[in-house]
Amino acid sequence: MKITEIETFAVGAGWKNWLFVKVHTDKGIHGVGEGTLNGFIKTTEAGVHELKHLAIGQDPRRINALAKRMLDSVSLDGGHIHRTVIAAIDVACWDILGKSLGVPIHQLLGGQVRDSVLGYANGWYRTERTPEAFLEAAKAVLAKGFKAFKLDPFGTAQGFISREELELSHAICRKLRDELPRDTLILIDVHARFTEIAALQAAQRFADLDIYWWEEPTSRDRQETVHEVAHRSPIPVATGEMYDTVGQFYTLAAGGGVNIFQPEPMSLGGITPSMQVANLALAHGSHIAPHQSGGPVATAVCLQLAAAVPNFLIQEHFDAFNDTWTRDLVTWHPTINPDNGHLSLPDAPGLGIDLNIDAIKHHPYDPDAYLNVHAEGWEKRLGRREGTARKQPS
């Protein structure tokens, strides 16, 4: 079997663009992948086409060899862009391999260790930054069947946060904790906003709210700062979504204090390096909770991992809060079990999902669709149209 062509599809999906990839073979089997990187969709799409000559003519079932060829052949490291390109093709090749054998990808990763996985909602609070508005939005989350959700209550704070802003952030989460069922899991995403001391001060202020985790508490310039916070924080720290090498997770494990690793399969280069991180975490006595703020193909990737990875903690889920028409772009979506807040797992051969190309063509790339968490009102997820009504898709 040989790869004959690689197509890309940049999709304007409301508040963010997604990049889908379709890999064709001479045996009539195709695979799909995703290479979504917020703000870099056209860049990553160009990268796929620039490197696809390294994949065309190769056997898609030799996934590790192909990934190494795409990484090594340019003799330089293109970082996130480079590995996101590789990930899109890597996942499509896993899809092809599974389809060629008639089994889901998780069967090739060792088989299922669970039948469903706990999910947490994100992208749900497209509202005013007030306790009352967040509470109403959170009630809608629970009504969909979720038992856990994540939020960033810190507005546009960066570096340090004023006492007034910190108190408003705390009041939002206090309202959620007091008014929602006690067993609701509340996760906080700090979005790498703070210095070490500010991250610790904020964590101490939130210590009375039974927060599930404190995600990316410090800026990304120096990986070491997260350990200083993690060793002293009253809330468990989670991090890793911005790492683009497995070695960074080795450093994370060696530094200690963090037991929740958040690999982003698209940033790491796909399924193979994500499994390497999972095994590294297992040896460290830690769990993984993959980051996933992309599209539905990336969701399927994470759920394939959830099926096979023993030390898989919980899965981020945006899909239920995207514009309803986005469901038409693909052939499969996980369901949410309202009894336990779990997401279903794909079980069809390969990745278990395919693209609806006709639907995709109706939603082209939108240059205004990206997320900037340092812009006033970013919580509404309007992209560059802050303060204006989003145009409706045709």
Tens-digit pLDDT profile for residues 44-53: 999 999 999 9
Tens-digit pLDDT profile for residues 355-374: 999 999 999 999 999 999 99
Residues near 154 by beta carbon (within 8 Å), at least 6 away in sequence: 161, 165, 169, 190, 191, 193, 202
> Residue 23 burial (CB < 10 Å; 0-12/13-18/19+)?
buried
- Give the tokens for residue 158: 């960066």
What is the rounded CA–CA span in Å between residue 188 and residue 150? 6
Q: Residue 88's closest CA among 49, 142, 124?
A: 49
pLDDT at 390 over 70: no
Tens-digit pLDDT profile for residues 64-91: 999 999 999 999 999 999 999 999 999 9
Integer CA distances (angstroms), 245 to 62, 90, 182, 277, 306, in order: 21, 15, 38, 9, 20
Q: Report, in angstroms and rounded to the nearest whole number, the Rg of the chain calculated over CA atoms.
A: 20
> Residue 271 burial (CB < 10 Å; 0-12/13-18/19+)?
buried
Q: Of all residues in the chain, what percent carry a pLDDT higher than 90?
A: 94
The whole-number pLDDT of residue 222 equals 87
Cβ proximity of 184 and 142 under 8 Å: yes
**Secondary structure letter of residue 160 according to DSSP:** B
Concatenated DSSP letters for 252-310? HHHH-S--EE---HHHHTSHHHHHHHHHHHHHHT-EE-----S-HHHHHHHHHHHHH-T
Cβ proximity of 173 and 188 under 8 Å: yes
The distance from CA 272 to its chain's CA centroid, rounded to whole angstroms, is 16
Cβ proximity of 38 and 241 under 8 Å: no
What is the rounded CA–CA span in Å between residue 239 and residue 246? 13
The whole-number pLDDT of residue 103 equals 98
Q: What value does the mean pLDDT of the chain take? A: 96
Tens-digit pLDDT profile for residues 290-342: 999 999 999 999 999 999 999 999 999 999 999 999 999 999 999 999 999 99
The whole-number pLDDT of residue 243 equals 97
Tens-digit pLDDT profile for residues 185-209: 999 999 999 999 999 999 999 999 9
pLDDT at 267 over 90: yes
| pLDDT band, very low/low/confident/very high, at 344 (cuts 50, 70, 90) | very high
Concatenated DSSP letters for 38-93? TT-HHHHHHHHHHHGGGTTTS-TT-HHHHHHHHHHTTSS--HHHHHHHHHHHHHHH
What is the rounded CA–CA span in Å between residue 292 and residue 290? 6
Q: Of all residues in the chain, what percent carry a pLDDT higher than 70?
A: 97
The whole-number pLDDT of residue 74 equals 93
The whole-number pLDDT of residue 389 equals 38
pLDDT at 384 over 80: no
The whole-number pLDDT of residue 385 equals 61
281-293 average pLDDT score = 98
